[in-house]
A and B are shown apart, each in its own frame.
Chain A
Amino acid sequence: MNVITDEKRCVGSGQCVLAAPYIFHQRDSDGIVVLLQDTPPESQLAKAREAAILCPSAAIRIQGSPAP
């Protein structure tokens, strides 16, 4: 699994941090997404996917794992 974020699209809503706090963080200065790990373990897949679904600016993509 590969997680890709788009800082230009991100508007700092923080939904990813709530859904998957081990993968996503927000920059202190402006709340923009910071990726803590871009290849998280498969055990985190459901949470990563939830973050991608809930992101209100479509700034997260998950690669390498087919959707359930």
Chain B
Amino acid sequence: MSDQEAALLLTDRRDLRCPFAPAAELSAARDTADDLPTVQVVAGPDFTSEALAITRYADARQVLGDQRFRVGVAFDPDQPRPQASQPSFLLNQPGFLLNHNGPEHARLRRMLTGAFSVKRVQQLGPQIEQIVAGQLDELAEAGPVADLVADFALAVPSQVICALLGVPYAERAEFQKRTEDILEGRGSTPQAVDAVTDFHAYVAGIVAARRADPGESLLGSLVREHGHELSDAELIGMSILLLVAGHETTSNVIALGTLALLQEPEQLALVRDDDGVTDTGVEELLRLLSVASTVPREAVEDVTVGEHRVKAGQRVVVSLLAANWDPHLIGDASALDVRRGPVPHMTFGYGVHQCLGQQLARLELRIALPALLRRFPGLRLAVPETDLRFRVNSPVYALRALPITW
């Protein structure tokens, strides 16, 4: 193992020979280690911290379901919020739900949950189908060869998020590049700091525009219904969360999921040809890929996790990747089985902070993946698999590009 690989956070470290599997040392930490391993967590340019790695499925559910573990590896609600010119300010941004705990978190989240209910999300179906069809046309024109990441996987969720925020799609470049810069190196690079500052100003502009003219978007409804009880800073924090969480994650499941299916032609054919496999196939890819693996928490008081004692004030990082591949969850976790029965995987987290947009992500994937495979029945990689490059040192696992032909 090179120094660079060793420096990657254990909780989202993957096997270099199989781009989706947990690294051997991560699986070993889960299956054989007596103690919870200590890891170094980087959460911005001015913040590193020690944390215990939680890798077993049962422990992961316990930690994320237990209010004695709070969010906030770098956020302290008792401290004044840093100014926008300071690099770590995103971590103290009000309204960014992952910075809030307890009743304050519940107050803010409940303003958004109605908009992401199954019913409301399903109403977006026709619009998403239209976006996917349009993007497939563009992909067909761009290639072959084309880059599935840039020409399809990023474009579809970006357009959906633009619609939710009431932003013209022409502005997507404004946030796509910046989101990428923020995620690169876990927000610790100079580019990430600049990107955060730019991004904040950009989103503040969107919020001001919706305050002036709410319109029909999700953000517009939020302003209409709850605008009087939300500060601009809180609306900015919520919008940043929707933007960052809403497109990098889903886009990487589209791209990595396509790669996973290309590696298993029989599984790919099932997703392409059988509508009955769409839902189970998407769940299986979500589990297998676990694109946003590492979830930080901090113990408010002494807690026993499994047979381990976690002391008050101690930090933990949960590996959703290790949990989703735990043999105690499913025996053949390494197998891609698109017809697998219901599995309570943890890809969207667990407990009060679980992904708000999970039904939207599911719907986008259920529409985009079969449509892609049906439009290009001869879809295949345009380069040897060994040439593919992955973004590994990031909160969201990603393919740098996925050159395809058909």
A residues contacting B by CB (< 8 A) are 11-14, 17-19, 26-32, 50, 53-54, 56-58
Contacts and interface: CB of A to CB of B under 8 A. Distances in A.
Contacts of A57: 65, 350-352, 354
B87 interface: no
Which of B114, B118, B348 gathers the greatest number of chain A CB atoms within 10 Å? B118
| Chain B residues touching A, range | 20 to 34
B358 A13 contact: yes
A29 B349 CA distance: 23
Contacts of A58: 65
A57 B346 CA distance: 11
Contacts of B354: 11, 13, 56-57
A17 B344 CA distance: 15
9 contacts: A11-B354, A14-B118, A18-B118, A29-B114, A31-B114, A31-B117, A56-B349, A57-B350, A57-B354
B119 interface: yes
Contacts of B199: none
Main secondary structure of the interface of A (DSSP, over half): loop
A53 B61 CA distance: 13
Contacts of A26: 117-119
A11 B352 contact: yes
Contacts, number: 63
Nearest to B354: A56
B109 interface: yes
A54 B350 CA distance: 10
B344 A53 contact: yes
Nearest to A26: B117
Given A11-B354, A13-B359, A30-B110, A54 B117 contact: no
B114 A28 contact: yes
B113 interface: yes
Given A50-B342, A54-B342, A57-B65, A31 B116 contact: yes
